[in-house]
């Protein structure tokens, strides 16, 4: 599994011109699964992202987690995180998990995050979405767990 995590001042996701998820200060998390990923990885990643110390403390050092700052989280599925661009001009998505299995891991990840974080918003799995964000920093991290 692969997460692209962005620290944001705000973010929202729209489907068919309707906002379905919206947060203020917190994390925008893009979620991708590949063939062979397992439930334990989703659990580990949920704990990692909620406790990752990437928010600034009073001395402007990254010492605080999403939980420490009472931040919000917006989770969006994105199979293109497993796009392979090494050959040719068109990305290959053969490593991305099939939607039926990926959606189960996406939902598990969301449920695990909800156990830790108070305010969790989500995109719509498999939908054509418009994601809007104000990146804070910018801070963008790629986290992966086999």
Active site residues: 80
Pure H helices in 17-135? 39-51, 66-69, 99-116
Which tokens sit at 132?
């809007």
Sign of CA dihedral 127, 21, 11, 68: negative
Give, in order, the Cα–Cα distances in Å from 33 to each of 46, 49, 82. Answer: 14, 16, 8
Give, in order, the Cα–Cα distances in Å from 78 to each of 65, 114, 115. Answer: 24, 19, 22
Sign of CA dihedral 11, 15, 19, 21: negative
Decide: 134 and 11 in contact? Cβ < 8 Å: yes
């Amino acid at each position: 599994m692969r997460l692209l995590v962005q620290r944001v001042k705000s973010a929202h996701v729209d489907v068919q011109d309707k906002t379905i998820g919206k947060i203020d200060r917190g994390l925008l998390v893009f979620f991708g699964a590949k063939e062979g990923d397992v439930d334990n990885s989703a659990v580990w990643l949920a704990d990692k992202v909620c406790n990752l110390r990437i928010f600034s403390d009073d001395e402007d050092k990254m010492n605080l987690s999403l939980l420490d700052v009472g931040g919000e989280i917006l989770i969006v599925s994105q199979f293109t995180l497993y796009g392979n661009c090494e050959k040719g001009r068109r990305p290959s998505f053969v490593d991305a998990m099939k939607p039926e299995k990926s959606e189960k891991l996406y939902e598990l990840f969301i449920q695990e995050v909800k156990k830790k974080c108070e305010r969790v918003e989500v995109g719509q799995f498999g939908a054509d979405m418009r994601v809007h964000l104000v990146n804070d920093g910018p801070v963008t991290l790629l986290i992966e767990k086999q």
